[in-house]
Amino acid sequence: MAQSQSQNQNHTPAAINYVVTPSVVQDAAWYMDSGATDHVTSDFAQLIVSTSYTGSEQLQVGNGNTPQLIQETIQKLNTQFPLKILGSLKYFLGFEVTRNAFGLYMNQEKYAKDILIKTKMVDCKPCSAPMAVGTKLTPDDNELFDNLALYRSTIGALQYLVLSRLDIAYSVNKLSQFLKPPTQLHWQACKRLLRYIERTSNYGGHFTKSHRFHLECFTDADWASSPNDRRSTSGCCVFLGPNLIQWHSRKQKVVALSSIEAEYRALAQGLTELA
C-alpha cells in the first residue's frame, strides 16, 4: 500500500496524503484529522508516503510552522464553509489566552471580575484561602438567606469559573449543594470565596509543549465529609504529560462504610474520566 519516501524529505507535495503507523508516532505538533483512526505525526522523517490511499480515513498532517500548508488548508475549508481569519486566539467565551516562549497560559480574569461586579464585591478585603479550615455546612445551620436568586446565579457563575480554576472546585462543589435552601452562613461562605477570587483573579492554567503523552490520574476522598448524610467527597486530577487537563470535586452517590471504600469509589470515578 505504501512506497518509500523520497530522498528530499523537506519537500512535501500538497497532493500527497501522509499516513503513519502507531509504531512511529511522534509529537503531533499540528494536524487535521478527518475522522481517521490511524495515529498521525508532524515528523515528516517518520512518515510513510501513500499516493494511492483514497479511503474515508484520509489525513492531512503537517507542522504548525508550515505557512504554505496552513494556507492551503484554510483555502480548502473556505470552499466549503465561510471563514473569517481572526488570527491567534486571545479571548473566547470568557477564556483569555496568552502565549509566550514557555507555552500557553489560559485564565478567566475578566469573567471573574464580572462576577465580583455583579455581587458588589469588587472592593472587598481579599483572603488567602477559598474556605476556612474545618468548615461544615448544613441545610439548616442558620436563618434562610433572603436573596435566593443572587445565591443561585452566583454559584452558577462560579461553576463556569471552575473550568480554569482547580483551586476553587471543592468550595464551589460544597456551596452548590445548598441551592434550594441557602442560609446566611452559606452566603457568608460564598462571600469568602469571592474574596479569595478578588485576590487570585488572574489564576489559571499553564500548558507547555511536551513529548510525553501519558495520561495520569490522581484521586482522593474526604470520608463522610457531609454532616447531613455522611456521604464522602471525591476529588480527581487528570494530567496529559505535565499538563493538567481535567479535574473535579464531587459528592459520592452512596454512603461509604469506611475510608478505604471512599477512596476506592473516588478511584473508580477517576477511571471513568480516562475511559
For strands 204-207 and 103-107, give the pairing.
antiparallel
4 vs 192, higher pLDDT: 192
The pLDDT of residue 64: 53
Q: 175-222, pLDDT tens digit by residue?
A: 999 998 899 999 999 999 999 999 999 999 999 888 878 888 999 998
Grid cell locating 83:
471563514
Report the distance separating Cα 236 and Cα 217, nearest Å.
7
Report the distance separating Cα 2 and Cα 16, nearest Å.
12
The model's pTM: 0.68
Residue 232 vs residues 224, 254, 264: alpha-carbon distances, Å: 4, 8, 11
Grid cell locating 241:
504529560
- Residues contacting 120, CB < 8 A, separation 6+: none
**Percent composition of the chain: helix, strand, coil (DSSP 3-state, to 5):** 35, 20, 45
- Residues contacting 110, CB < 8 A, separation 6+: 91, 94, 96
- Residue 41: name the closest of 26, 21, 58 by CA: 26
C-beta of residue 247 within 8 angstroms of C-beta of residue 166: yes
DSSP alpha helices (H): ranges in the chain? 67-80, 109-118, 148-161, 169-175, 184-199, 259-274
Whether the predicted pLDDT of 13 surpasses 80: no
Cα torsion 21, 22, 25, 29 to 10°: value is 80
Of the listed ranges 38-47, 117-126, 161-170, 197-206, the least confidently predicted one is: 38-47
The pLDDT of residue 26: 40
Strands (E), the chain: 17-19, 31-33, 48-50, 59-61, 91-92, 95-100, 103-107, 204-207, 215-222, 233-240, 243-251
Q: 20-37, pLDDT tens digit by residue?
A: 444 443 444 434 333 444
Report the distance separating Cα 46 and Cα 42, nearest Å.
9
Q: Which domains does the chain have, with CATH numbers?
A: 17-80 (no CATH), 106-204 (no CATH), 210-274 (3.30.420.10)
| Mean pLDDT over each residue of the chain, to the nearest integer | 78
Q: 85-123, pLDDT tens digit by residue?
A: 777 778 888 899 988 888 889 999 999 999 999 999 998
State the Cα angle at 37 between 33 and 40, rounded to 5°. Answer: 55
Whether the predicted pLDDT of 16 surpasses 50: no
Report the distance separating Cα 127 and Cα 107, nearest Å.
20
Range from 8-22, 33-47, 218-232 that averages highest in pLDDT: 218-232
Report the distance separating Cα 90 and Cα 106, nearest Å.
9
